[in-house]
Amino acid sequence: MLKCKYIFLDSLYLAKHQCLIPLQYLKLLRPKHWAKNAFLFIPLFFAGEIFNVEKIMWLLLGFACFSALASSIYIINDYRDIEADRMHPVKCKRPLASGAVSKNTALVVFFLLVIGGLGGACLLGSKFAFVLSIYFVLNLAYSFGLKNISILDIFIVAIGFVLRVKAGGVLSGIAVSEWLMLMVFLLALFMAIAKRRDDIVLKIASGKDMRVASKGYNMDFLNVSLALVSAVIIVAYLMYTMAPATMERFHTYRLYYTTIFVIAGLMRYLQITYVENDTGSPTKILYKDRFIQLTIFLWILSFYVIIYLMPAILPADKSFFE
């Protein structure tokens, strides 16, 4: 009877272990971070064509290509940072740092993702493949050393989001305005600075640098940078919504109403940064913070009502644009 019990427990352990193996490979890809690739859909939304099924299908394919290459970058980045990640209180649990996935296996997955991502991009069009290639090369350079250069590291992160928006515009055949590119860049820069501030908080607590670039930052510098960029974001957003070209394009002067949600979202993010000291993962905040989620939902809803519904219900005063 006792022998049967041990056999059962051994079988249970093996079954659990076998189930954990695919989970570790999934964690290696970091699928939670694929949410960043939703920026591809921004040009379609702002163009008022979010219900264009054909363009959505093209963007979904582009989303898959971006996700494949983004995961390949995460793998090579983790591969090079194994020793540093093992000293980090959170990153030490990553598949490579914890030893759950071997280095050789990770490299095989890396090459498969690169081939699949770039191959798929070529099928979607040469312009899209070109933008995706720039994204890949830039992030590869980031992983191989540029991430160690203070200020340049956060600019590269921000440029990655701009390239996502540009790629979305290329795939959907929509010209992306300079205002939109600028605001995406500023927002991504804001989140990258907040993340570096979290590294400094961890450094103060542990006495160890979480990354090489952290040596070029301190709390005062990052606090001032956050205040500066957040102020510029609000001013830029107001200027965008009230610009004559924007009002003429959307046939409404009411877009500035949505500024309240932008300010509320930024203030909540600053609260998480300064009060809670927990901005190590913008993706985690997006998935877990209800205030941020509600703010984003209301911003999207208000934009949807103003762009898609209000022109039919409440036409703009033509004299306003004359």
Q: Indicate if the pLDDT at residue 7 is higher than 80.
A: no
Mean per-residue pLDDT, 98-125: 88
Mean per-residue pLDDT, 37-63: 90
Question: Could you tell me the pLDDT band of residue 4, with boundaries at 50, 70 and 90?
Answer: very low
Tokens 């194994």 sit at which residue?
82
> Residue 166's closest CA among 214, 115, 217, 130?
130
Residue 89: which residues within 8 A CB-CB, separation 6 or more? 202, 206
Three state DSSP letters for 217-282 = CCHHHHHHHHHHHHHHHHHHHHHHHHCHHHHHHHCCCHHHHHHHHHHHHHHHHHHHHHCCCCCCCH
Q: Indicate if the pLDDT at residue 113 is higher than 90.
A: yes
Cβ-in-10-Å burial (0-12, 13-18, 19+) of 123 comes to exposed
Residues of the chain by 3-state class (helix, strand, coil), percent to 5: 85, 0, 15
CB atoms within 10 A of CB 209: 16
Question: Could you tell me the pLDDT band of residue 312, with boundaries at 50, 70 and 90?
Answer: low
For 314, which DSSP code?
S
What is the reported pLDDT for 245?
A: 82
For 168, which DSSP code?
H
Which of these ranges, 19-28, 57-66, 246-255, has the smallest mean pLDDT? 19-28
CB atoms within 10 A of CB 159: 20
CA angle 211, 73, 143 (to 5 degrees): 35
Specify the amino acid at residue 105: T
User: For the whole model, what pTM was predicted?
Assistant: 0.83
What is the reported pLDDT for 296?
A: 92
